[in-house]
Amino acid sequence: MTSKERSNLRSLASALEPVGQVGKNGVGENMLRSFSDALEARELIKLTVLENSEKTPKETGAELAAALQAEFVAAIGRKVILYRRSKRDIKHIEY
């Protein structure tokens, strides 16, 4: 993914509300399933990494992206943005 594509996805994500939070317990199986469902429905999601998390937002984003087979777009403050093209027959996000 190019920096221009990342920039476009960041601008699209600025209007989104976070769909979940990652805290000190890290990422569980149910949380992964929930985030995967959100990515399938929306393609672009924003998450909040709480202050008590043991990992930085960037580390958490990279871990989630690998587990969800998604693209880590950015970590802005305590927010993480992830993108994964949906397999459903919908109008996909153009970046």
Tokens describing residue 19 = 């769909």
**Residue 86: pLDDT band by 50, 70, 90 thresholds?**
confident
pLDDT tens for 27-53 read: 889 999 999 999 999 999 999 999 999
Contact status, residue 86 vs residue 44, Cβ threshold 8 Å: no
Domain range 3-83, CATH architecture: 2-Layer Sandwich (3.30)
Query: Can you give the residue ranges of every domain in the chain?
Result: 3-83
CA atoms of 25 and 52, how far apart (whole Å) = 9
DSSP string, the chain: --HHHHHHHHHHHTTPPP-EEEBTTB--HHHHHHHHHHHHHHSEEEEEE-TT-SS-HHHHHHHHHHHHT-EEEEEETTEEEEE---SSSS-PPP-
